[in-house]
Amino acid sequence: MTCIPQSWTRRLTMLMLASLVALAMAACGSDDSGDGQGTSAAAVSGDPAKDKLAQIQARGTLVEYFEDDYPPQSISVKGATRPAGTKCADNQLTAPEVTGYDNEVPKLVARKLGVEPCFVAPTWTEVTAGNWGDRWDIAYGSGSINADRMQRLYMTQPYYAVPNMYFVAKDSPYRKPADLNGKEIGACADCSHELYLNNELEIPTVDVKLDVEHPKVVTFETEEPGLAAAAKGKIDAFLAADPVGRARIKEGEPLREIPDVAFTYYPSGFVDKSSGLETKAFVQRVNAIIQGFQADGTLKRLSMKWFGKDYASEAANYDIEAIGQTVK
């Protein structure tokens, strides 16, 4: 038997430990910086001409939806510099140029896929209509899982759960949802809020009940002008996600929140059903990544950073397999 000197044994042990640490660090990457730089090239699995995940890996980019001026979910970074050597096309924004909860999440997803995140800015109506023509791969825009969208889009594991509230002018006499019966209530067009007020919202596995009678629905393209209209008394109330309305109040908009949750929805990353590519592997991979971020607390930390509240943990309890979609 060959004897190994004790000093060699210590050196071998230290080398083995160093290798293990390096492997562990390489496996990590679920921080919330999400700058998209330093990602290693992903090995292409499948045919890029037929499979969405393989297309993304071969291209080296994950193209995501971006909405300008939707704080704290989506924000432009003024004066940001595009990184040298970016793979993003000239008409796409790079990771340093955008931030906010809805953008930091896909940055982290892209990092896990080993590709660079890039962003485009179609209208929200274009997103929810489907038929994207592969101009972008996934849409994180605080859009909820609902039965109507499932006709055109695949839903992925929700990345947070959002209570939705009525916002009224600060000096408004309205104190509870029943006070808004028959009143003019605003909502963003093609959003779950509009469906809810029309008593048409269906969220798989969730019991949704309209809490006002005969509302007169007034739609707006985005929440900001609707909340401003409510603050000025041009409409009686505006139904919006809790963090969106709170952000406007924090910015000085003279609004008040009625302290009753109308309904809670579960924002998802949307994937187009009509891409012409197989999307099953991509959707499954995104689900696994988001579930991993829920398990290790990444999304909770991100929610606390951007909202000051944990909107993320409840979404981990949503069973995406129970919604009845068949991804092809």
Angstrom distance (rounded) from CA 260 to CA 241: 12
pLDDT digits 0-9 by tens, 135-188: 999 999 999 999 999 999 999 999 999 999 999 999 999 999 999 999 999 999
Lowest mean pLDDT among 69-78, 265-274, 277-286: 69-78
Q: Are the folds of 52-160+266-321 and 163-265 the same? A: yes
Segment 74-82 shows an average pLDDT of 96
pLDDT of 55 reads 98
The distance in angstroms from the start CA to the end CA of the chain is 59
Q: What is the mean pLDDT of the chain?
A: 89
What CATH number was assigned to the domain covering residues 52-160+266-321?
3.40.190.10
pLDDT of 195 reads 97
Confidence of residue 41 (pLDDT cuts 50, 70, 90): low
**What is the 3-class SS of the chain, one letter each residue?**
CCCCCHHHHHHHHHHHHHHHHHHHHHHCCCCCCCCCCCCCCCCCCCCCCCEHHHHHHHHCEEEEECCCCECCCEEECCCCCCCCCCCCCCCCEEHHHEECHHHHHHHHHHHHHCCEEEEECCCHHHHHHCCCCCCCCEEEEEEECCCCHHHCEEECCCCCCEEEEEEEECCCCCCCHHHHCCCEEEEECCCHHHHHHCCCCCECCECCCCCCCCCEEEEECCHHHHHHHHHCCCCCEEEEEHHHHHHHHHCCCCEEECCCCCEEECEEEEEECCCCCECHHHHHHHHHHHHHHHHCCHHHHHHHHHHCCCCCHHHHHCCHHHHCCCCC
Angstrom distance (rounded) from CA 170 to CA 42: 52
Whole-prediction pTM = 0.85
Examine the pLDDT at 249 and tell me if it is beyond 70: yes
Examine the pLDDT at 11 and tell me if it is beyond 70: no
pLDDT digits 0-9 by tens, 82-128: 999 999 999 999 999 999 999 999 999 999 999 999 999 999 999 99
- Domain assignments of the chain as residue spans, ordered by start: 52-160+266-321, 163-265
Lowest mean pLDDT among 43-57, 94-108, 268-282, 295-309: 43-57
Contact 88, 64 (CB under 8 A): no
pLDDT of 42 reads 64
Examine the pLDDT at 247 and tell me if it is beyond 90: yes
pLDDT of 4 reads 37
Segment 68-90 shows an average pLDDT of 95
Examine the pLDDT at 52 and tell me if it is beyond 50: yes
pLDDT of 17 reads 35
Examine the pLDDT at 212 and tell me if it is beyond 60: yes
The label of the residue with tokens 């929610």 reads 303
Tally the C-alpha atoms within 13 A of residue 215's C-alpha that lie toward its C-beta. Answer: 28
Fold of the domain spanning 163-265: D-Maltodextrin-Binding Protein; domain 2 (3.40.190)
pLDDT of 44 reads 76
Contact 161, 167 (CB under 8 A): no
Examine the pLDDT at 77 and tell me if it is beyond 70: yes
Segment 285-290 shows an average pLDDT of 98
